Amino acid sequence: MTLLPDLFSLKTAWRDARSQYRTLLLYCGGIVAGVAALVAILSFRNDVLLTVNDQARELLGADLEIAQSEPYGDPLSEAIDSLGGRQAQALEFSSMVLYRPAGAEGATGVTRHENEDDPGNTGAHEMDTEGSEGPVELTRLSQIRAIEGEFPFYGQILTEPAEAALSYQSERTALVDRPLMTQFGLNVGDSIRVGNEWLRISGMLLEFPGESAAFSLIGPRVIIPRDVVAGTGLLDRGSRVQYKTWLAFHPEREGLQTEEELAQVATELRELEPDRRTRVTTVASRKQDFSQIIDNLSRFLGMVGFIALMLGALGVASAVYVYIKRKSTTVATLRCLGASSRQTIHIFIIQVAGIGFIGAFTGAILGLFVQRFLPMLFTDFLPFELTQQISLTALLLGFLTGVVISFALAVLPLLSITNIPPLLTIRSIDFSPLANVTKRVKSGVFVGVMVIVTGILTLLLNSIWAALLFTFGLMLALLILLGTSILFVRMTRLLRIQSFSYIWRQGIANMFRPNNQTAVLVTTLGMGMLLIGAMYLSQEMILQRIDFQTGGEQPNLVFYDIQQDQTEQITALAEDVDARIQDVVPIVSMRLAQLNGRSIREIREDTTRQISNWALSREYRVTYREHLTDTETIIEGEWIGRAEGIGSGVTVPVSLAQNIAEDLQAGIGDTLRFDVQGVPVDTYVASLREVDFQRPQPNFFLLFPSGVLESAPQFFAMTLRTPNENATALLQQQVVREHPNVSAIDIGLVLESVQTFLDKIAMAIQFMGLFTIFTGLIVLASAIAISRFQRIRELVLLRTLGATRKQIRGIQLVEYLWLGALACLTGLMLAYIAGWLLAWFYFDLIFVPDFPALVVASLVVIGLTLTVGFINMRGVLKSSPLEVLRLNSE
């Protein structure tokens, strides 16, 4: 028996489909959205990877980038010089910067230092007396890039005007980030003050190699010449600085022509000073970093598209089942006329395959259209202008996925055709073909679908284990959604609706008509609400946690890098603006020298070690005190708040945070020797702490008792609570003017930046969630279309019995209103459960969801459901009573 259809099957399938092509085309709409999402995401990923591959050198700006958190030692400096090539250096650090619009008027006076110059003749003037007219000065913690040399060697720094990027070093001017200039109303020609140096703004910074606009959310970027830093006074007090060197080699230089040779040089440079965390980046490693980030993003978004595709295919399978059941009499008639089971199956296989093919093809074309607009969602996160092109691989994978998934889920309804008996031509019974399919066949089809889904996911995720996990999670989520929707539908059926009006009774009863797809529709629309609701609740909980930790009596301003002789002066400035100082924390810098008697070099050379390299080589900034804070909890051992000073034979009891203890593989009783500015300090782990590092106050991996580090070189961090935003801004201005080495963190600005960042991410994910809701609406439309003849019969009978058009519209309104409400209730209930679990187990918060926002989202989905329902029912309402007599001929 051949598996290929014969000519009779082809002709019959065409003739039958031709008379109802609109309905069949509507069925395939269920997979359009899913395929479109997949093709768009895969194409976007391909565009990003191709752009990164083409512009990798421009993203790095050099062939090699060497970075270290302290000045280079002689071995590294000599090795860099021996490499030759073109070189550029930079110092990167965070610092408070004063921004002064030219000619602005305000009430803040500035005391000038005699050695200060106001460059560029900006027209700004200062008054020595507070209250006199003078320029308004704005303060902001900024990311300083102090560059010396022709960096970037590949690509360019984009500024406005363009020539500013080429002249800022020779003219000793500054380039300032566009978002900050826009926010503060600054213009080219205005002034900034970095430390003790005034600089004229010669250009607005638009793009910097390898950095996206999202970097501005961390802190605005300011580019200045490196030689300016020497006069700022910022590096004289132990500020945290990144020392960078960029190298570019002549293409004809022997020994440094290939990626492998550069990788070997990078490895050798990293090993020169193993006790210092030397980071060496090559063009190849930068490409790999970007590829990994984009892979993770595209996989996540692609899964949302795949969920939409699965729901669409589920809707197609449900529609095919109802379609075949309606065609049972036609199948029985064909069997009586001599058609074989193989021929009847082939007829409907051709139609279903056509549905999958047309839906996947349409979705692929729509995906190309979405691809054009998708980069707009990620513009702020991409450090380059995306080059777009058509990806045949993405098109083919999306198309084949749509065809295979839609057909795989429709196999079981197709197999039920063989159970339709010829007797149905003379017997009028409610026959269910699927009920007569054996359990063995059903199990085989289910296993086959799981294998197909897992195989496709393996291609998308490049991991069989991730595919298996996602398949299991997806099936579990669908079963929960389906079970919940069935439960809600049954609860609706159990309602005592006799007391309701006729319109409400009939509208609710319509949800239980024979061949209804209520559960499937509630599941598909509910999945969309689940995705959007869960994403929104997660975003709100993150912001809620930050707001909770910054509200009330929590500090809203933090100063750090305060030297001992500056503490009293800053305290006085804080009292002048009615700020309340909550804590002054001493901080001592040190490095780990030994762990359990083994040197760091010895541990590094041990290939069997499981200790984190980061924990071994990092600079530890620690504090000392007698008592624990409310962010710390002892989970093992005993806290010892006071100990003897440093001396020969003295071992100091310390407390480790749980996470750093895991990285060091250290426990109670283990010994650690630290190098404190050349002085060895022996310690042992007396306790382990659980620390809430998300609180906006200084928290530490390592905590010393009092009586040990008081005489060590140290600086201080100060947490304050200011009465309002104006006091915060004024205090920052005064501190940075008198103590330029001190930096500040405005918790309000941090919260605003985090919210902006989360909003951008949420927009992208919610956009993909809309694909799922769109799929649900298409499945809804196809379900209404497939039951059109049944609805015509019901409504015509109602009109024959005297029902008015107004009553019929009311019945439809109630049905779709109830359907949309159940879908939203299903999705939101599961979203609330997911949100509660996240709040309880992950965010450690009391779950307080934002009801108004989710109610608005629910009303939108219900409104869309009503709109789709009424658009699809327009033809039904226009039907005449005579059509009820013609239904048997359909």
Residue 147 has pLDDT above 90, yes or no: yes
Partners of 89 in beta bridges: 148, 245
Contact yes or no for 27/324 (Cβ under 8 A)? no
Q: Which helix (H) or strand (E) holds 600?
A: helix 600-605
For 27-45, what is each residue's pLDDT tens digit? 676 677 778 878 888 888 7
Indicate the range of 171-175, 179-183, 606-610, 656-660 predicted with least confidence. 606-610
Contacts of 692 (CB under 8 A, 6+ apart): 631, 632, 699
Nearest to 340 by CA among 709, 1, 77, 671: 1
Six token digits for residue 880: 């005449």
More confident residue, 885 or 688: 688
- H/E element, 141: strand 138-148
Q: Which of 580-589, 686-695, 758-767 has the highest mean pLDDT?
A: 580-589
pLDDT at 131 > cutoff 80: no
**Lowest-pLDDT range, 147-151, 370-374, 700-704?**
370-374
The tokens describing 755, both together, are 């919210």
Q: Please give the residue that has the higher pLDDT: either 227 or 778.
A: 227
Q: Distance of alpha carbon 591 from its chain centroid, rounded?
A: 35
Q: What is the largest CA-CA distance in the chain?
A: 109
pLDDT for 824: 82
Q: Which pTM value belongs to this model?
A: 0.65
Whether the ω angle into residue 209 lies within 30 degrees of 0, i.e. cis, is: no
pLDDT digit string, tens, across residues 421-471: 777 666 655 566 666 677 888 888 888 888 888 888 887 777 788 788 878
Across 831-844, b (16+ Cβ under 10 Å) vs e yields bbebbeebbeeebe
Confidence of residue 109 (pLDDT cuts 50, 70, 90): very low
Residues 6+ apart with CB under 8 A from 697: 554, 555, 558, 582, 583, 629, 631, 719
pLDDT at 130 > cutoff 50: no
Q: How far apart are CA 281 and CA 269, in angstroms?
A: 11
d(CA 844, CA 693): 13
pLDDT at 7: 81
Strand partners, 589: 621
Nearest to 697 by CA among 543, 548, 549, 544: 549
Residue 547 phi, psi dihedral angles, 5° rounding: -65, -40
pLDDT-derived band at 128 (thresholds 50, 70, 90) equals very low
Higher pLDDT, 127 or 628: 628
Does the bond joining 161 to the residue before it have cis omega, within 30 degrees of 0?
Answer: yes
Asked if 492 and 516 touch (Cβ cutoff 8 Å), the reply is no
The mean pLDDT value of the chain amounts to 77
- 401: amino acid identity, one letter: T
Rounded Cα gap, residues 266 and 260, in angstroms:
10
Contacts 24+ apart (CB under 8 A), 659-667: 659/691, 659/701, 660/615, 660/701, 660/702, 661/685, 661/688, 663/611, 663/612, 663/614, 663/615, 664/595, 664/611, 664/612, 664/615, 664/616, 665/610, 665/611, 666/595, 666/596, 667/636
CA dihedral for 847, 850, 854, 859, sign (positive or negative): positive
Domain definitions of the chain by residue range: 1-59+294-438, 86-248, 473-553+747-890, 580-721
Per-residue pLDDT of 729-739, as tens digits, reads: 888 888 877 88
Burial 592-601, CB ≥16 within 10 A → b, else e: bbbbeeeebe
> What are 503-561's pLDDT values in tens digits?
887 777 777 766 666 777 777 777 777 767 776 776 666 666 655 555 556 777 888 78
Confidence (pLDDT) at 119: 40
Hunting for tokens 């707001």 — which residue is that? 547
Q: Give which of 800, 850, 799, 855 is closest to 824, Cα–Cα.
A: 855
Provide, rounded to the nearest whole percent, the portion of the chain with pLDDT above 90.
8
pLDDT at 653: 93
Per-residue CA distances from 816 to 505, 788, 842, 863 (Å): 13, 15, 38, 9
Tell me the average pLDDT across 763-789. 65
The CA distance from 657 to 738, in Å, is 36
C-alpha closest to that of 873 among 806, 801, 798, 781 = 781
Q: Is residue 788 classed as helix, strand or coil in its secondary structure? A: helix
Task: Read off the pLDDT of residues 583-592 as tens digits, 9 standing for 90 and up.
Answer: 888 999 888 8
If phi > 0 it is left, if psi is from -120 to 50 it is alpha, else beta; for residue 544 that is alpha
- pLDDT confidence of 124, banded at 50, 70, 90? very low
Torsion of CA 844, 846, 851, 857, to 10 degrees: 10
DSSP-assigned beta bridge partners for residue 581: 720
Confidence of residue 686 (pLDDT cuts 50, 70, 90): very high
Beta carbons of 13 and 351 less than 8 angstroms apart: yes
Q: Would the CA dihedral through 683, 689, 693, 698 be positive or negative?
A: negative
Q: What angle do CA 411, 415, 416 make, to 5 degrees?
A: 120
DSSP state of 65: E
What are the start-end ranges of the H helices in 385-501? Answer: 392-415, 439-461, 464-493
Task: Specify the pLDDT at position 694.
Answer: 67
